[in-house]
Every structure is written in structure tokens, then in C-alpha cells.
Amino acid sequence: MSEAHADEIVDAEIVEDGEMVPAAPTARLLVDMHTMLMPGEAIPTSDDPGTRYTERDVYFDEETAQAIREAEAEGSPQRETAMRLFEAWCAKQGQVAKPCTTKTYTDYGYHLMTRGLKVTTIRHYMSLIRTSMPAGKQPDPSLYLRLLAHYRKKNKRALRRKEAFPITLSYLVPMMKKAEADDRPIGWRDSAMFAFGYRFLGRSIEDVDLDLEDVKILDDRVLVWLAEDKTHKDQDQTIPLLDRPDLDLVFRMRRWVNYLAEQGITTGPLFREVLRSGKVATPETRARKGATKRGVYLRPQTVNERVKLWFAAAGLKSDGRPVSSHGLRAGGATDLGVSGATDEELWEAGRWKKGSPIPRERYVRPAKDANRDLFEKVPVYDPEAQTQE
């Protein structure tokens, strides 16, 4: 080596003749499913190879995998609807739906905003989609939430909430009588389901998820064992539903349960499909019609449809608010609040979280304010009386 070039050597490694000089490590790209880059941004890299994982770190054993599959198969109807719509949109866009990238998740959130949906609806759908992703692969919601906050400020109509029409006793009793008019098993089921839904103050999914084993019918009440609810996670409760003459809860529930027993059904879903023949659906008959994830358990949407059917059949009219199965819960809360129930009593009856403003603000106050007119204090103007004076 010439003396002129000796000073140019900064670092070197001595090797034997014929030995290969190890190549310099290549930069490792730090990109994953959540990476989002603006035009012109460089892709982040690192020279540190990082931790090395093996197959044992990423593959579940078969027992755990099977348990996960079973848990995922029990998704709620709302979650299934949200994912079905999301998957259809992703297919149209040519993007992966599950697990989705944060960019795809943000895009879909903005898509829902362009449709003018309510803020609460968008939040609900996006939450269901995010929690439907595999563990450890959920998208980052921060950018979508920033867009939603901007959307909220610009679209006041998107804040409007459509409350269910409260099916109070004055509406409920005619509906039950109409359902029972033909004295058919499906009418017995529906009237029992309506009386139970009103008195239990449950959410539709809670009603249709109950099993016969969860209910005990006594002479003056119905005892309901509830493993958990939206407010009380991992906290079971035994709830007594005392009967009353206008509901005839005990009679209606006993008639339905006895009908199930006559067909040899003493376990499994409390409320289930009734076939045209009058017989109750079984796993075998349900499978022939086309298996569903809920099997012989009624879907919440079915309860919704039956409420609409008997409300209309009884010749009833709402005030413009939508009629739905949630109206049973709203009706019970409204009747309680208008009759003087305290906030504590409302929270206990409907199993709302203590301190929740929902029963008072959504159900009780609107009912009390419906016929309230502050201008009643102002005398009616009568021009003839003014002339006579």
C-alpha cells in the first residue's frame, strides 16, 4: 500500500488470504401494519436486528386455538353487522379487512362520516370493528378519533339521537291482548316476552340469551338469575320480578314454559322460534332451515320485529319516535319515573350504573315535559276584551 493512501484508512479488519470479509449488516425496516407515512417521508429503519422470536412465541397450541375459535363464534349480532359492512367496504376498496391496518381503519371511519351518520353510531361501529380484530393486532384509533372530533364540530345534526318510543303500560297491555287474541303458541310466547321485557327492564340481548334454567316461576313472582350484564361484569344477580294484575306475568310465563315442557323442552333457550305448525324449533329443525350462529336462540332483531308487528296490529300510534324492542325497557323506566321513583330506584330496577343520567334524562324527563307548557302562565290575548275595557 502506498504511503500516500495510508492516511485514508479509517478502519479495517485483518483476514487470512481467501477468507470472505463479512458484509455490513443491512438496515432493518421498522414497518408494521400500523405504520402510516405522509408523501415524502422516509421509511424508518434500524441497524439493530432486535429480539429474535421462534415459532413457539407466535403459534397457539391447539386447545387454546380451539377455545379462541369458539369465543369468536359467539359474536353479538351488532358486531356481526358491523364487520359484515366493513368487510364489504374493504373488498370494494381492495384492502384487507382482518386484521386491518390503522390506515384502513381510519379510512373507514372517515367513510362513515361522509355518509352523515350520527356520532354515536360511528363510535359504536368503529369500536365493534376494532375489538373484532385478533388480539395484539388492533388498529390505533387516535387519528380516526381526531377526525371524528372535527366532524362533530362541523355537523350538528350528527349529534341527534333517535330515542325509542317508550312502550308504557297503556300501550303494552293492548299489544299483549292482541297477540293472544288468536290463542296461538306464537302469541303466548310474544305476550310472555313483552310482559317479561317490560318488568325485567332488560336489554333485548339479555332477554333472548336467558335459558329456562335461569328462570323460576313462583305463585306471585318470577325469579331471574343473571350471570352478568353490561354494567355488572362477572357479577351474577338473582332478580325478583313481582307480579301485578295488568301484566299477569306469572300466568303468561307459566303458560309459555308449560307449552315448551309439553314438547319435551325443559332446558335451553327460554324464548325460541315457533314454527308455522305451532311446534317450537329444535336444533334439528333449525338446521334444516339453515343453521345460524344463534341456533334456536331468538335474535334480538326478531323481538324488534314482533314488537313492531303487535304495536301496529293493536292500532297504536307513536309520537314520531321509532317503535322497537328497546321501547319495552324505555316504557318500564318511564312508568317508574313518572310515578315518583327516585334515581336510586331507577338505577336498581334497570341495572344502570349508579350515577347514570340515562333513565332520568332519556325516559322520565321527556315524558313529564311532553304536556308541560310554560306559556300557560301567560293569559290568552283577547282583543274583544281589550276593546270593552
Considering its fold, how many domains does the chain have in total?
Answer: 2
Same domain, 217 and 137: no
| Residue 263 and residue 279 in contact, taking contact as beta carbons nearer than 8 Å | yes
Same domain, 328 and 181: yes
- Per-residue model confidence (pLDDT) at position 231: 65
Residue 19 belongs to some domain of the structure: no
- Per-residue model confidence (pLDDT) at position 158: 61
- 155, exposed or middle or buried, with CB in 10 Å at 0-12, 13-18, 19+? middle
Same domain, 145 and 238: no
Residue 153 belongs to some domain of the structure: yes
Same domain, 116 and 175: no
Same domain, 211 and 134: no
- Per-residue model confidence (pLDDT) at position 14: 46
Stated as kind and residue range, the H or E segment containing 307 is: helix 300-313
How confident is the model over 283-325, as pLDDT tens digits?
Answer: 776 655 555 667 788 888 899 999 999 999 999 999 888 999 9
Same domain, 112 and 187: no
Cell numbers found for residue 19: 477468507
Q: Which of 278, 279, 282 is nearest to 267 (CA)?
A: 282
CA 62 to CA 38: how far, in whole Å? 41
How confident is the model over 20-79, as pLDDT tens digits?
Answer: 444 445 555 566 666 676 776 666 665 544 555 556 766 788 888 888 777 766 666 678
| Residue 164 and residue 322 in contact, taking contact as beta carbons nearer than 8 Å | yes
Same domain, 119 and 198: no
Same domain, 246 and 356: yes
- Per-residue model confidence (pLDDT) at position 171: 96
Same domain, 242 and 302: yes
Stated as kind and residue range, the H or E segment containing 260 is: helix 249-262
Using left for φ > 0, alpha for ψ between -120 and 50, and beta otherwise, residue 252 falls in: alpha
Which structural domain range is residue 95 located in?
Answer: 75-159
pTM above 0.85, yes or no: no
What's the 3-state SS for 76-137? CHHHHHHHHHHHHHHHHHCCCCCCCCHHHHHHHHHHHHHCCCCHHHHHHHHHHHHHCCCCCC
Same domain, 196 and 303: yes
CA 334 to CA 327: how far, in whole Å? 10
CA 25 to CA 15: how far, in whole Å? 18
| Residue 102 and residue 140 in contact, taking contact as beta carbons nearer than 8 Å | yes
What's the 3-state SS for 35-58? CCCCCCCCCCEECCCCCCCCHHHH
Residue 33 belongs to some domain of the structure: no
CATH classification at residue 131:
1.10.150.130
Same domain, 124 and 173: no
Residue 263 belongs to some domain of the structure: yes
Residue 289 belongs to some domain of the structure: yes
Provide the 3-class DSSP secondary structure of residue 225: strand
CATH classification at residue 207:
1.10.443.10
Using 50 as the pLDDT threshold, list the residues of the chain that sit under it: 1-15, 20-24, 48-49
Residue 96 belongs to some domain of the structure: yes
**DSSP characters for 272-299?**
B-B-TTSPBP-HHHHHHHH--TTTTBPP
